[in-house]
Structure 1
Amino acid sequence: MRTAIATSDYHVSGETFINRHIAHLFGGDTVVIAGRTNGDDPYGKPVFTRRQKLGAVDLAILPFHATRNRLLHGTSRLPFGTGYRALAEFLHAQKVEVILAEFGTQALAVAPIANDLGIPCFSYFRGTDASKHLRSRRICRAYRLMMPRLAGIVSVSQFLLDNLASVGVTHPNAHVIPSGVDVRRFAPGTKRPLSCLAVGRFVEKKAPLTTLRSFVEATAQRPEARLDFIGDGPLLSEAQSLAQELGAAGRVTFHDAQPHDFVRDRLETTQFFLQHSVTAADGNTEGLPTAIQEAMAAGCITVSTRHAGIPEAIEEGETGFLVEERDASGFTAAISRAMDISDKPAMATRARAVAETRFDNGRLIGTLEDAIRDTVAGRL
């Protein structure tokens, strides 16, 4: 089924979940609708870029269309004029049968033209689009107006669907389908005793300073324990200074941002995965972190928080340990408990089994394809 994947930026190497759909959905029979493109197209796909420089005629009619679209759709970001016609021609020429918008905010831009052309449109909600953005009454209204224009919605966690429902954004054809992980590439290796890993941007939502402090406190009597951070961001320098201040610089390594293969290799030999996710001040949350799914596939014991969709993946005491958000002392204790369990390989094996059963992206892409096919065929 010829599918157009609508995304904000193309190609972003870190957006593995979107790139996987571009490469593999319906056997790779896909094209791309991008807000912007950096010119990198590793999959050799036809690409349409929405955000083009406006000509004189489009600039003249912009105020009318912006006002009209805000009234009818709750957003002014829809294509119009030359851009509308070019996108319609692209979709027609590429024989697109369905549109999958990655993130709800992208669906706002493509759902109306999909309706005009009679193309079923689906939206995949992943995190920010169903948390931080819901602080905006304008976006909530736009989402509510959009729902009848969509053939269905997908979310990486039930948590995000509940978030949307709390502001009156619901759809009768809604599915929870995690992003998943390639369980054939992320697999357990020989684990380094007391090795810990944290992966992600150094931002408030990931609480890296809490992770660092708790690791240092939990391993005060375990000098052989090590923590690796992979990622960059605004809190990186503060975290590096804190490691020095805590006298842990020799036990904590900051790797900055690294390719996906580097992350995979580290997970393979890491015993404990640490992620103290919290709701940021602006309302931003996780959906269901891909890094945690990858860690489980690699047989890591996860220590994390009861945040967003994480409790939907981690079973307390069976595949990992969870504490409340911002409970720093609880997080320290949870790391200690994880390191003290007598049969670590058994917990690691259970984590791997859950990943194989619930987070195999090969199966999950099939689940998504079935949901789309059944909807288009009128079976849902």
Structure 2
Amino acid sequence: MRAAIATSDYHVMGETFVNRHIAHLFGGDTVIVAGRFNGDDPYQKPLFVRRRRLGVAGLAALPVMAARNRILHATSRLPYGADRRALAEFLRAERVEVILAEFGTQALALAPLANDLQIPIFSYFRGTDASKQLRLARIRRAYRLMMPRLAGIVSVSRFLLDNLAAAGVTHPNAHVIPSGVDVRRFRPGDKAPGSCLAVGRFVEKKAPLTTLRSFVEATRDRPAARLDFVGDGPLLEPARALAADLGAADRVRFHGAQPHAFVRDRLETTQFFLQHSVTAADGNTEGLPTAIQEAMAAGCITVSTRHAGIPEAIDEGETGFLVDERDAAGFTRAVDAAMSVSDAPAMAARARAVAEARFDNDRLLARLETVIRDTLAAR
């Protein structure tokens, strides 16, 4: 079955879930519809870029089309004019049989055209699109109008489906399918005692300063403990400064943004994975962090928060430890508890077993394909 993968930006190295669909959905029989193209094209698939420079006719029609689309669809994101005709021709020429829109906001842009072309379209909700975006009344209305146009929706966590439902956004064909992890590539190795890792953007939602403070406080009597941060963002320099202020610069390393293989290698030898995820002031949340799924597959004991879909992954006291969001003192105690576990290898083995059972992305990809095929067969 030939599928079009619709995403906002192509190619983004960190969007492993999108990239896996491009590479492997329905045996890799895919094409790409992207909002923007950054010039990196590792998959060499047929590509259509939606946000092209408008010609004279397009600019002239913009006010009218934007107003029309806001009235009919509660969004002005829809392609129109020559761009719409070009996208329709691309989908026809490539014999696309189904569209998978990665993120609800991408589905908004494509659902009406997909309906006109009689191409079934599904939307995958992953985090911001079902949290921060829902604070906007126009997005809530647009999602409600969009739902009947979709063949089905998928979410990485039950938490996000509940978020959508609370905003009056539901679909009768809704499924929870986490992004998953390649459990054959992410495997436990020889763990360095006291080693900790945090992976992700240095932004409010990840609370890296809380993670850093808790690590330092929990390991004052553990001088051999080490924390590695992977990622960049606006809070990176404040985190460096805080590590120095806390006298921990020699025990905390900041690697900046790194390729996925670097993270995999670090996880293999890391004993504890730390992620203090919180709901940002603008309402932005996680879905179910891929990094936590990868850490579990690598046999890391995770210390995190009761945030979004994270409790759907971590069994408290069995595979890791959870505290409430922004409970810095509790997070410190949880890091200490993780490092004091009497049988850490057994907990690490349980984390690995859960990852194999719940987050094997081969199985999850097959489940997604089954949902799509069964839906289309029923239609």
* Residue 69 (str. 1) matches residue 62 (str. 2): no
- Give the 3-state SS of the residue equivalent to 1:345 in structure 2: helix
Moved more, 147-156 or 35-44: 35-44
C-alpha separation in 1, matches of 2:154 and 2:45: 24
Q: How do 1:157-168 and structure 2 match up within 5 A?
A: 157-168=157-168
C-alpha separation in 1, matches of 2:233 and 2:60: 40
Please report how far the alpha carbon of residue 39 of structure 1 lies from its aligned counterpart in structure 2 after TM superposition.
2.1
Q: Which residue of 1 aligns with 2:83?
A: 83
For 1:177, the aligned partner's letter is I
For 2:366, the aligned partner's letter is G
Q: Which residue of 2 aligns with 1:6?
A: 6
Q: How far does the alpha carbon of each residue in 1:172-218 deviate from its partner, in whole angstroms, 9 at most, with x for none?
A: 00000000000000000000001000000000000000000000000
Q: How far does the alpha carbon of each residue in 1:131-182 deviate from its partner, in whole angstroms, 9 at most, with x for none?
A: 0001100111000000000000000000000000011000000000000000
Q: How far does the alpha carbon of each residue in 1:67-126 deviate from its partner, in whole angstroms, 9 at most, with x for none?
A: 111001000110111001000000000000000000000000000000000000000000
* Residue 93 (str. 1) matches residue 90 (str. 2): no
Q: How do 1:137-152 and structure 2 match up within 5 A?
A: 137-152=137-152
For 1:218, the aligned partner's letter is A
Q: Which residue of 1 aligns with 2:188?
A: 188
Q: Which residue of 2 aligns with 1:288?
A: 288
C-alpha separation in 2, matches of 1:30 and 1:41: 14
C-alpha separation in 1, matches of 2:299 and 2:249: 27
C-alpha separation in 1, matches of 2:66 and 2:197: 47
Q: Which residue of 1 aligns with 2:304?
A: 304
Q: Which residue of 2 aligns with 1:219?
A: 219
- Give the 3-state SS of the residue equivalent to 2:129 in structure 1: helix
Q: Which residue of 2 aligns with 1:275?
A: 275
Moved more, 97-106 or 58-67: 58-67
Please report how far the alpha carbon of residue 60 of structure 1 lies from its aligned counterpart in structure 2 after TM superposition.
1.6
For 2:232, the aligned partner's letter is D
CA RMSD, Structure 1 to Structure 2 (Å):
0.6
Q: Which residue of 1 aligns with 2:350?
A: 350
Please report how far the alpha carbon of residue 282 of structure 1 lies from its aligned counterpart in structure 2 after TM superposition.
0.3
C-alpha separation in 2, matches of 1:59 and 1:99: 28
Please report how far the alpha carbon of residue 44 of structure 1 lies from its aligned counterpart in structure 2 after TM superposition.
1.1
Please report how far the alpha carbon of residue 65 of structure 1 lies from its aligned counterpart in structure 2 after TM superposition.
1.2
Q: Which residue of 2 aligns with 1:234?
A: 234
For 1:217, the aligned partner's letter is E
Unaligned stretches of 5+ in structure 2? none
For 1:290, the aligned partner's letter is T
* Residue 16 (str. 1) matches residue 16 (str. 2): yes
C-alpha separation in 1, matches of 2:341 and 2:17: 33
Q: How far does the alpha carbon of each residue in 1:249-281 deviate from its partner, in whole angstroms, 9 at most, with x for none?
A: 111111111110000000000000000000000
For 2:283, the aligned partner's letter is G
C-alpha separation in 2, matches of 1:244 and 1:255: 16
Q: What is the TM-score normalised by the length of structure 1?
A: 0.99
C-alpha separation in 2, matches of 1:147 and 1:262: 39
Q: Which residue of 1 aligns with 2:332?
A: 332
For 1:367, the aligned partner's letter is R
For 1:113, the aligned partner's letter is L
Q: Which residue of 2 aligns with 1:111?
A: 111
- Give the 3-state SS of the residue equivalent to 1:83 in structure 2: helix
For 1:257, the aligned partner's letter is A
C-alpha separation in 2, matches of 1:354 and 1:230: 24
Q: Which residue of 2 aligns with 1:48?
A: 48
For 1:93, the aligned partner's letter is A
- Give the 3-state SS of the residue equivalent to 1:154 in structure 2: strand
- Give the 3-state SS of the residue equivalent to 1:9 in structure 2: strand
Q: How do 1:118-137 and structure 2 match up within 5 A?
A: 118-137=118-137
C-alpha separation in 2, matches of 1:254 and 1:291: 17
C-alpha separation in 2, matches of 1:333 and 1:42: 44
* Residue 170 (str. 1) matches residue 170 (str. 2): yes
Moved more, 35-44 or 296-305: 35-44
C-alpha separation in 2, matches of 1:277 and 1:336: 18
For 2:27, the aligned partner's letter is G
Please report how far the alpha carbon of residue 58 of structure 1 lies from its aligned counterpart in structure 2 after TM superposition.
1.6
C-alpha separation in 1, matches of 2:137 and 2:144: 11
Q: How far does the alpha carbon of each residue in 1:261-319 deviate from its partner, in whole angstroms, 9 at most, with x for none?
A: 00000000000000000000000000000000000000000000000000000000000
C-alpha separation in 1, matches of 2:134 and 2:296: 30
Q: How far does the alpha carbon of each residue in 1:38-70 deviate from its partner, in whole angstroms, 9 at most, with x for none?
A: 122111100000011111112222222111110
For 1:35, the aligned partner's letter is G
C-alpha separation in 2, matches of 1:59 and 1:264: 47
Q: Which residue of 2 aligns with 1:154?
A: 154
Q: What is the TM-score normalised by the length of structure 2?
A: 0.99
Q: Which residue of 1 aligns with 2:247?
A: 247
Moved more, 356-365 or 35-44: 35-44
C-alpha separation in 2, matches of 1:11 and 1:87: 19
For 1:73, the aligned partner's letter is H
C-alpha separation in 2, matches of 1:229 and 1:58: 46
* Residue 359 (str. 1) matches residue 359 (str. 2): yes
- State the identity as a percent: 80
C-alpha separation in 1, matches of 2:377 and 2:46: 26
C-alpha separation in 2, matches of 1:213 and 1:56: 55
* Residue 341 (str. 1) matches residue 341 (str. 2): yes
